[in-house]
Structure 1
C-alpha cells in the first residue's frame, strides 16, 4: 500500500486542485522533486516523470514565450501516467494547455500561493519523513539524559520493569513492547510508539498502566533518536562477559549501525542504575572520554615502568 498519495499533499499544504481530479489517488514513490526547465525547452531524454513536478515563475515565464504548438506538445509530454502531480506556485495562472493535458491524462494540477523554494523545501521534508524506510522491533525505548536507549531482550527478561524504574528516576518513556523505527537519514534512526499503545507500560502481575497519567507529561515523549542499544539477557555462568568495556559490539537496524551493550540479568542487580550509567558513559565516550582506554593506557605504562625498574 502506498504511504503517500497526491491527496495527502492537497490536505497537508492546502493546495488548490485545478484539474485532473481523477488522479488525486496516485501514489508518490520518491521524495525527490522536479522543476522541468529543460523539459520546457523540449529535452525529455531524462524526464523524471515519477516525481512531483514544480512549475515556478521561471518555468511559466519561459512557457509563455513558446509557440502555441510547442506549448501543447510540452504539456502533453509533461503529463504522463506515472506523474503524481504538477504544482504551480506563487498563485500564478495555470496555462490552459496544462489544464487540457492534465484532464486527458488524469494528472492532478495543483496551485499554491507559496514561493517555489519555500514550497519545495516543505514538500521534500514531508515526503522524506513519510517515505523513509521503517521497521518495528520488540523492545522498550527510553530517553535517558538525552540518549535514546533501545532496551531489547527475550520476553519476560524485565524490559518493562526496568523502564518503569527509569521513569521513576526521572527519565522519559517513548515506547514499550513495540518500537516503530524510521530511518530519516543515513545514520539517523527515529523511534516512536504505535498509536494504540502510546504512553502505556505492561507490567506482569500489575497489568497495563498509563505512564503519562501516573507520572505526568514530563515522563513521556512521542519520538526519540536511537543511539544506544542495551541487550538484556539471563546470566549465563559459562559465558564470558566484557569486563573492561573495550570491545564495542554493533547492531544493525535498517542501514544504520548502533553501539550495542549486553547486560546480564541476575537477582540483586539494579538494571535501571546500570542502564542509566551506561547512557552517561556513552555520552562521555562521544565527548572523547573513555575510562576503559584510559585505564588500559595507565596499566600499560605501569607495566613498562616495572620492567624498566627490573632492568
Structure 2
C-alpha cells in the first residue's frame, strides 16, 4: 500500500497551510472523505477520525451558532491524534477554536478555494489512485492503438527489442523491464513506470536509450490501463500452440483478470507486427467481431450440411 500524507495533498493541489504544520506528514490510510456535520452537532459516537475531514459553508454556518464552550469542545473532539487533516473549502476562514485544537495535537489544517463538492470529488479520485493496491511485474507495457498491452516472457526473449520496434511503428512506450501496477475500481489495472527508469529502454548490445529523447514526447505515456497480456516464449516443437484463437487464457493480477495470449518466438517471426495485429484483433472482439468464432460457426455449418447430404 502506497503512503499518502497531508503534505502530498498540499503539494498536489497547492492548498494553503493554515495550522498544524507539525502533523503535515501524518499518514492518510483511506480514500473516504468525511464531512463532520453531525459531529458539529455533538454526536461523536461513530466519528471516523482516520478520514480527512472536509469542512464547508454548511458546517461552519452551524458551528457559528454554538456557544463558545461548545465550539471549543467540538473542535477538540474533531482534532484527534488519528486525524490526518482538516480541509476548509471555498477559502473559508478557520475558526480560532479549530486552529487552537489543531496546534495542540498537530493536525494539519489546509484551505482551498474550490467548492466543497468539487474538492470532495478531486480528493477522492486522487486518494483512490494513490492508495490503490500496488504490485510490480517484470515485462514491458506499450500503448498500441489505445490498447494497453503487457508483454511478458523470460529474460532475453526479446521483449525490449519488440517494444522498440513498436515505438518505431508509432506506438507509445509506458514502461520497460518493470511495470508498477495499481488496482483501481475493482477490475481496472493501471500500469506505471518506476520513476528511476521512466522513458528508458534497455537493448542488449546497445545499452540504455531514452525513448522520449530519440523519438519525441509522443512516443511515451506516463501510465496506461492494461487490457491485454502477450507472453513471449521460445518455440517448443513438442508443444501444441493455439492456431484458431478459440482458447482463451487469462492472467490474474489481484482480483482482476485480463486476456492472455502466448506467442512462440523463433527466427523470422516479426513479433512487432504480430503483437500489433493482436491488439487490433482484441479491439474487434470488444466490438463484437470474433474471427475465430465466425470460422468455427462456418465450419459447423459445413459439417452439418454434409451430414444432411448423406441422408
TM-score for both structures, normalised by structure 2: 0.95
Give the gaps of 5 or more residues in structure 2.
none
Is this contact kept in 2: 1:34–1:53, CA < 8 A?
yes
SS in 2 for 1:227: strand
Is this contact kept in 2: 1:28–1:51, CA < 8 A?
yes
Q: How many residues align?
A: 311
Is this contact kept in 2: 1:134–1:254, CA < 8 A?
no
CA distance in 1, matches of 2:86, 2:79: 8
CA distance in 2, matches of 1:241, 1:82: 56
Is this contact kept in 2: 1:2–1:28, CA < 8 A?
no
CA distance in 2, matches of 1:22, 1:215: 46
CA distance in 2, matches of 1:2, 1:217: 28
Task: Report the counterpart of residue 214 of structure 2 in structure 1.
Answer: 214
Task: Report the counterpart of residue 136 of structure 2 in structure 1.
Answer: 136
Task: Report the counterpart of residue 69 of structure 2 in structure 1.
Answer: 69
Taking a change above 3 Å as real, the CA distance of residues 57 and 189 of structure 1, as seen in their structure-2 partners, is same
Aligned-residue offset at 1:12: 2.3
Is this contact kept in 2: 1:2–1:27, CA < 8 A?
no
| Structure-to-structure mapping, 1:127-206, within 5 angstroms | 127-206=127-206
SS in 1 for 2:27: coil
CA distance in 2, matches of 1:234, 1:164: 19
Aligned-residue offset at 1:238: 1.8
| Structure-to-structure mapping, 1:263-302, within 5 angstroms | 263-302=263-302
Displacement over 3 Å in runs of 4+? none
Taking a change above 3 Å as real, the CA distance of residues 99 and 200 of structure 1, as seen in their structure-2 partners, is closer
CA distance in 2, matches of 1:142, 1:108: 40
CA distance in 1, matches of 2:310, 2:2: 74
Aligned-residue offset at 1:2: 6.1
CA distance in 2, matches of 1:2, 1:230: 28
Is this contact kept in 1: 2:2–2:132, CA < 8 A?
no
Aligned-residue offset at 1:213: 2.7
Task: Report the counterpart of residue 251 of structure 1 in structure 2.
Answer: 251
CA distance in 1, matches of 2:162, 2:76: 61
CA distance in 2, matches of 1:217, 1:87: 36
Task: Report the counterpart of residue 14 of structure 2 in structure 1.
Answer: 14
TM-score for both structures, normalised by structure 1: 0.95
Is this contact kept in 1: 2:2–2:134, CA < 8 A?
no
Is this contact kept in 1: 2:2–2:131, CA < 8 A?
no
| Residues 1:82 and 2:82 are matched in the alignment | yes
Which deviations, in whole Å up to 9, do the C-alpha atoms of 1:36-66 show, x marking residues without a partner?
1111112212111001101111111111122
CA RMSD after TM alignment: 1.6
Is this contact kept in 2: 1:199–1:212, CA < 8 A?
yes
Higher mean displacement: 1-10 or 279-288? 1-10
Aligned-residue offset at 1:165: 1.6
Aligned-residue offset at 1:69: 2.6
Task: Report the counterpart of residue 108 of structure 2 in structure 1.
Answer: 108
| Residues 1:56 and 2:47 are matched in the alignment | no
SS in 1 for 2:28: coil
